Homo-oligomer: A and B are copies of this chain.
Amino acid sequence: MTSPTEKPVKKVVLAYSGGLDTSIILKWLQTEYNAEVVTFTADLGQGEELEPARKKAELLGIKPENIYIEDLREEFVRDFVFPMFRANTVYEGQYLLGTSIARPLIAKKQIEIARKVGADAVCHGATGKGNDQVRFELGYYGLEPDIRVIAPWREWDFASRESLLAFAEQHQIPIAKDKRGDAPFSVDANLLHSSSEGKVLEDPAVEAPEFVYQRTISPEAAPDKAEVFTIDFEKGDPVAINGEALSPAALLTKLNQLGHDNGVGRLDLVENRFVGMKSRGVYETPGGTILLAAHRGIESITLDRGAMHLKDELMPKYASLVYNGFWFSPEREMLQAAIDYSQAKVTGRVTVKLYKGNVTVIGRESPYSLYDQDLVTFEEGKVAYDHRDAAGFIKLNALRLRVAAKRDARDAK
């Protein structure tokens, strides 16, 4: 434990997946901290059943009233994924932030449960070398500043996988056979993406093996025929596919399927972690990849140039804030206020074509188009465009350059 002077922990809310690692943490909290453990298991669309987690928690001695299981898929997509996509967010030019965006929601729910059950601590299972510990804990602290945070991977003395497994056996924690050996890579998944990293991916010079991919078939395996469909947007958020209105989570699920089937959304990346080192990851974000392209498509006809360029300038900072775990920070919220303001008329329909890994926007239309036929024609009496205006426009834009060029020519003499 970090500090012998700290007060004992009475009750702790654990982000619990039901897997081996968080089960070990659960038991370790009971034995080392002698604390009452409250488990929190969320459905974020990771594609796993939640009831087994309940059973396992009960098996490990958690009281039924201390087991919290929630389906957060709609909240996740509506309040976290969609706001982020309004900003066309990509980290380091490529990464769609699928892991980053889920952590603040889990942290928020843990804090809510901690308040409800009167817990004095929260606990997560992220390792000490990664970004997720930061994202969880900045979330905790930003919402409940005096909460005690337990990060077992930074605290305990298990020196190896073997000693962990020994602890598990000692405490009757079931170990699936395939968990005995080291996993060839580690995985995080939710409705937005799945990520893989470590082991077989560690050498960035070597191509990621096909077996790490879980959310998508390869472009090579995808159908030879393109899939074409429409996405409707309202105020920057997607609301329907092929005209069928869908809830946020249902819509993203549908896009994921479409992306999966057409080999869309794979990314093999070396990125810079907030904790300071570079790491290599493989990400699959099928629906998100489509959504980014489609959102840019609808913005292209509905968003003013000044607004779009400002968004593009703000985006890298926004992306870093999300990546680094500062979702619940004043500056992320300020940027969100600006971004959301811009989306009031980002409404309309985009036609998207998927083909073997490619996402192409092939059509966009909107009742709020700034590319309206009436407007671009520039007939007399409408917003007239006079060619001669361009001469003045250029002349005054050039003025400072001309003055400087004259200065420099003078100096050269």
Contact = CB atoms under 8 A, between A and B. Distances in A.
Interface of A: 2-3, 88, 92-94, 127-129, 133-134, 137-138, 141-146, 151, 153-154, 202-208, 219-220, 224, 226, 266, 268-272, 275-278, 280, 296-297, 300-301, 304-313, 316-317, 320, 326, 328-331, 333-335, 337-342, 345, 351, 353, 355-358, 360-365, 367-373, 375-376, 381-383, 385-409, 411
Nearest to A316: B312
Contact of A301 (B268, B270, B360): B270
Given A134-B393, A304-B330, 13 more contacts: A88-B93, A134-B397, A144-B405, A154-B390, A205-B364, A277-B375, A277-B376, A277-B403, A309-B320, A313-B313, A370-B400, A383-B406, A386-B392
B399 A204 contact: no
A145 B383 contact: yes
A121 to B, nearest CB: 14
Contacts of A305: 272, 276, 278, 400
Contacts of A407: 345, 368-370, 372, 375
Q: Give the number of times this chain occurs in the complex, counting copies.
A: 4
Contact of A383 (B311, B370, B402): B402
A411 B364 CA distance: 18
A304 B145 contact: no
Given A296-B93, A406-B145, A137 B342 contact: no
A207 to B, nearest CB: 4
17 contacts: A129-B387, A137-B394, A141-B401, A145-B401, A220-B355, A271-B300, A275-B390, A275-B393, A306-B329, A313-B316, A333-B341, A334-B339, A334-B341, A337-B341, A358-B358, A383-B403, A390-B392
